[in-house]
Amino acid sequence: MKIYSYIILMAVTTYLIRMLPLVLFQKPIKSQFVKSFLYYVPYTCLTVMTIPAIFTCTKSVISATVGFIVAMILGFNKKSLPVVAAAACIAVFITERFI
């Protein structure tokens, strides 16, 4: 019975998170600051969730750093996501073999 209450609570919480902005912000947002803030929120959240995982998912922080640097270089050079991900994985794999 306890699990059902958890599921219902999470469903209500998820619904409120998605419904409240629609109810509270019915008019178009005119403030350039608020628009800019809301534009960058998804990128910030993704970064905050990804960066710690990058440095804790390998056996060594050195190999994680090498993979991160490879991904950053390729990302700044406008390579596609599969290329960046594959190159970073290969860089981590090779670095792990040398360590």
What are the pLDDT digits (tens) for 28-43? 888 899 889 989 999 8
How many Cβ atoms sit within 10 Å of the Cβ of residue 92? 24
Whether 23 has a pLDDT exceeding 80, the answer reads yes
- How far is CA 10 from each of CA 1, 5, 7, 61, 81, rounded to the nearest angstrom? 15, 9, 5, 35, 32
The chain-wide mean pLDDT, for the chain, equals: 92
Confidence of residue 72 (pLDDT cuts 50, 70, 90): very high
Q: Quote the pTM value.
A: 0.65
